[in-house]
Amino acid sequence: MEPEYAFTAEELARIAEIRRRYPTARAALMPVLWMAQEKFGWLSREVIELVAQTLSLNPAEVYGVATFYTMYHTQACGRYVLDLCTCLSCQVLGAEDLLRHLEERLGVRDGQTTPDGLFTVRHTECLGACGSGPVLMINNRRYVHRLSQERLDQLIEELRQGRMPEFASIPLPERPWEQEASSDS
Amino acid sequence: MEWKRYRALLLPPIPNLRDISVYEAHGGYEALRRVLTDPAWSPERLIEEVKASGLRGRGGAGFATGLKWSFMPPPDGRPRYLCVNGDESEPGTFKDRQILEYNPHLLIEGALLAAYAIRASAIYVYIRGEYADWIDRFEEALEQARARGYVGARICDTDFGVAFYVHKGAGAYICGEESALMESIEGKRAYPRQKPPFPAQRGLWGRPTTINNVETLANVPLIVRHGAQWYSRIGAPKHPGPILYGISGHVNRPGVYELPSGMPIETLIYEIAGGVRGGKRLKAVIPGGSSTPPLRADQIAGITMDAESLRAAGSMMGTAGMVVLDEDTDMVRVLLRIAEFYHHESCGQCTPCREGTGWLVKILRRIAQGEGKPSDLDLLLQICDQMEGRTICALADAAAWPVRHTVQRFREEFEARCRPSLVAVPETIPS
Ligand SMILES: Cc1cc2nc3c(=O)[nH]c(=O)nc-3n(C[C@H](O)[C@H](O)[C@H](O)COP(=O)(O)O)c2cc1C
Ligand code: SF4
Ligand code: FES
C-alpha cells in the first residue's frame, strides 16, 4: 500500500524537471510547495516534512517559507477559500460592506471556515484587478469581478452546487474618442 | 488633441493577439530576428538604442532602462540573469496582467531582447501567485514561442540562446522589491537585501542580474521596430513612451488605458474614464499606486502624468495606477486601509518599518473610531520622520509618504475627527 503522504513517480519526475530550472535544489521549494498544496489541500506538518525530505531541506526552513507567503495554507481550510479584496480601490467601492455581508450570509467571521467545511472567508490585500473591483478570488485562482451583494449570493449558491465560475477576461475598455479622431482627419 | 490620434501599441485591439501566428502576422518577433541576425545590432548598440529612446522603468521607481542595462559587468562565461518583475501588488495597479493576457508575446520578445543586450543566460519571470489563470495562459504563449525556436538554444538559428522560466509567487507584496524577488526565486523568505551590492554586481545566486518590470520590457520591441527617435517623441520629453494608465475608484469607466505619457490628470478622469461616478464631485486623486501621495482636487489643474510634473505637484508617477476618489470619500478610512496594507506587508527586518507601520495603523484606527486626540496628527508625522530613508528597502517610505501627505493635505478632515465629541461618551471597557 502507498504511504499516505508521498509523491507519485510522475510527481517526482515533475519535481526533477522543476529542479533543472534552477542551479540549487532550494530554489525548487516554492514550486514544490505549490504542487504539494494542490495535491493535499493544505500544508500540514506531514506535508511540510515530505517536501523537506524530497528536496533535502530542513523542515523548519520549509515551514519558515510556507508561513511567509499568504497563499500557502499552513492550516486546514474549506473546500472553497474566498479571498475578498478590501484594499484601496475595492474598499472605496464598498468591499468592506461586502465582507460583512459574506460573513453574515455564511455565519462565520473573517478568517473562519463554515462548520460544513465548505467555505473559508478571508479579506485580502490588493488582487491586482482594481479596475474591475470589488474583486474576489476563489481557491487561489479564479477571479470574480465587479461584485455586488446579489452577485455574492448567487456565487455562494453556484459553489454550493459545485459550479466554479468560468475564467473571465476583463475586456480592454472602449476608446470612444478614437472614432471622433478618425472622422475629423 | 494629439492623444486622440494615438493608436495603442502595447495593447492593440487585435483579436487573438496572444496566438503566436496572429502576433507574427502583425510584425511580431521581427525586432528580435533583426537584432539577432544583423551584425550591426551588437548588444552594446541595443543598449545605446534603449538609452536614446529615453525609456524609464514602469515598475514604480522610473529608473532609465538603458542605463540600468549598462551596469552589467562584462561576461565572464558564468551564468547571468534577467528577472522580469510581474509581481504587480501595489494597490491601484493592474496593468501588467493585461499584457500577460492580451499581448504575452510582446513581453516574451522584449525579455529576449533584454537578455541579448545584457547577455543573460536565463530569464526568470516572477508572476504573483494570484494570477494563476493568467500564468497558465502565459505559459501557453511561452510554449508556442519555444516551439517556433524563439526560446532555448540557437534562437532564430543564431549562436544566441537563453533559458526562459516562469516562477510563481505565493502572495507577498514585498516580492515586488527587486532583491526580495531574487530571494524568493532562490526559495527563501522574501527579505530585501542590503544595498549595495546592487543586482548587477550580486544578484540571483550571487551572479550579475538585471530586473525589469513587465510593461518596461514590453516597450523594447517597439523601440527596435520603430527606432529610438520615433519612440522618444511620444508623450512627455523626459519620460517618453506609451503608458498603461490603470484607472480605478469612483470613475464611470475604470480600466487600463494605453496613451502617451504626460496625459493631463483631468483629461484622464473626465474624458478618458468618463468622469466621476454618479455625477459627484472629485475629492482626491492618488496618481500612481497607494504609495504615491494623494493630490486634492484643487491641486490637479494642469498636472500631467510624468515624473517631472508630478514631482512639482508633490506626488509621484509610481505605476500610473490612478485611484480616483469622490467627494463622499472618508480620507481617514482610506488612509487607515493603506496603512494596514503596508503594516501587513512589512517583512519585519527593520525596526522603523515593522514598528512604525504598526503605530501608524494603531493611531489611524483610533482616529477613525472617533477616539483620536489633536496631538495624534503631529505624532503621525513624527513617526513618518522616523521611517523615511532609514530602512533596508523602500517599503517603509512607501508606507510613510501617503500618511504624511494625506494628513497634511486633508488636515481639516483629520482634525475634525480628533475633536472631542460633544456627546459624553461612556468609559469604554478596555478590550
Ligand atoms: C516595496 C516595493 C514593492 C515593489 N513592487 C513592485 C512590483 O510589484 N512590480 C514592479 O515591477 N516593481 C516593483 N517594485 C520596484 C522594483 O523594486 C524595481 O524597481 C522594478 O521592478 C524595476 O523595474 P523597472 O526599472 O523596469 O521599473 C517595488 C519596489 C518596492 C520597494
Ligand atoms: S523596510 Fe520594511 S519591508 Fe523593507 S526590508 Fe525593512 S522591514 Fe522589510
Ligand atoms: S484594490 Fe482590490 S484588486 Fe486592487
Query: Which ligand sits closest to the CA of A99?
Result: 3
pLDDT attached to residue A180: 76
- Chain A residues whose CB is inside 8 A of the B2 CB are none
- Kind and range of the H or E run holding B124: strand B122-127
Averaged pLDDT, A123-128: 98
State the pTM of this model.
Answer: 0.96
Distance CA B180, CA B191 (A): 5
Q: What is the largest CA-CA distance in chain A?
A: 76
Give DSSP secondary structure letters for B276-299.
BGGGPPEEEEE-SSTTSPPEEGGG
Q: How far is CA B409 from the centre of its chain?
A: 24
Q: Look at A87 and B424; give whichever has higher pLDDT.
A: A87
Q: What is the pLDDT of residues A33-82, one digit of tens each?
A: 999 999 999 999 999 999 999 999 999 999 999 999 999 999 999 999 99
Q: Give exposure, A40-49, as e/b (b: 16+ Cβ within 10 Å).
A: eeebbeebbe
What integer best gives the mean pLDDT of chain A? 95
Instruction: Tell which residue, B407, B402, B254, has the closest CA to residue B321.
Output: B254
Distance CA B295, CA B299 (A): 6
Query: Which ligand sits closest to the CA of B349?
Result: 2
Q: How far B290 CA sits from the closest chain A CA (Å)? A: 7
pLDDT attached to residue B426: 57
- Nearest-by-CA chain B residue for A166: B133
Q: Is the pLDDT of residue A182 over 90?
A: no
Closest partner residue to B91 (CB to CB) among A126, A137, A173 is A126
- A88 CB near ligand 3 (under 6 Å): yes
Q: CA-CA-CA-CA torsion for B204, B205, B207, B211, nearest 10 degrees?
A: 0
Would you say A78 and A122 are in contact if contact means Cβ atoms under 8 Å apart? no
Question: CB under 8 Å to B321, separation ≥6 — which residues?
Answer: A130, B90, B91, B92, B93, B94, B95, B246, B248, B288, B289
Distance CA A140, CA A137 (A): 6
pLDDT attached to residue B420: 74
pLDDT attached to residue B207: 98
Q: How far B48 CA sits from the closest chain A CA (Å)? A: 31
Task: Give the Å distances, CA to CA, from A89 to A29, B87, B161, B248, B338.
Answer: 33, 18, 42, 6, 10
Q: Which amino acid is at A38?
A: E
Q: How would residue A3 be classed by pLDDT, with cut points 50, 70 and 90?
A: low
- Kind and range of the H or E run holding A154: helix A149-160
What are B363's three cell numbers?
493611531
Distance CA A6, CA A36 (A): 10
In chain A, what is the straight-line distance between the N-terminal and C-terminal CA atoms, in Å? Answer: 76
The residue whose CB lies within 8 Å of the most ligand 1 atoms, and thus the one to mutate among B177, B193, B194, is B177
pLDDT attached to residue B423: 62
Q: How would residue A179 be classed by pLDDT, with cut points 50, 70 and 90?
A: confident
Q: What is the pLDDT along chain B (431 residues), one digit of tens a residue?
A: 689 999 999 999 999 999 999 999 999 999 999 999 999 999 999 999 999 999 999 999 999 999 999 999 999 999 999 999 999 999 999 999 999 999 999 999 999 999 999 999 999 999 999 999 999 999 999 999 999 999 999 999 999 999 999 999 999 999 999 999 999 999 999 999 999 999 999 999 999 999 999 999 999 999 999 999 999 999 999 999 999 999 999 999 999 999 999 999 999 999 999 999 999 999 999 999 999 999 999 999 999 999 999 999 999 999 999 999 999 999 999 999 999 999 999 999 999 999 999 999 999 999 999 999 999 999 999 999 999 999 999 999 999 999 999 999 999 999 999 987 666 555 566 55
Task: Give the Å distances, CA to CA, from B48 to B82, B213, B215, B228.
Answer: 18, 19, 20, 9
Q: Is the pLDDT of residue A2 over 70?
A: no
Torsion sign over Cα B203, B204, B207, B210:
negative
Question: CB under 8 Å to A174, separation ≥6 — which residues?
Answer: B253
Would you say B168 and A34 are in contact if contact means Cβ atoms under 8 Å apart? yes
Q: Is the pLDDT of residue A26 over 80?
A: yes
Q: How far B91 CA sits from the closest chain A CA (Å)? A: 5
Peptide bond into A134 cis (omega under 30): yes
A93 burial level (CB within 10 Å; 0-12, 13-18, 19+): buried
Would you say B297 and B331 are in contact if contact means Cβ atoms under 8 Å apart? no
Q: How far is CA B247 from the centre of its chain?
A: 14
Global ipTM = 0.96
Q: What is the pLDDT of residues B13-51, one digit of tens each?
A: 999 999 999 999 999 999 999 999 999 999 999 999 999
Question: CB under 8 Å to B128, separation ≥6 — which residues?
Answer: A128, B86, B87, B88, B89, B169, B171, B175
What are B262's three cell numbers?
504626460
Contact assignment for B167 to A31 by CB distance below 8 Å: yes
Task: Give the Å distances, CA to CA, from B351 to B124, B151, B340, B390.
Answer: 31, 44, 17, 9
- Kind and range of the H or E run holding B163: strand B163-168
Q: How would residue A175 be classed by pLDDT, with cut points 50, 70 and 90?
A: very high
pLDDT attached to residue B149: 97
CA B18–ligand 1 middle distance (angstroms): 25
Query: Which ligand sits closest to the CA of B246?
Result: 3
Would you say B261 and B236 are in contact if contact means Cβ atoms under 8 Å apart? yes
Would you say A46 and A37 are in contact if contact means Cβ atoms under 8 Å apart? no
CA B356–ligand 2 middle distance (angstroms): 11
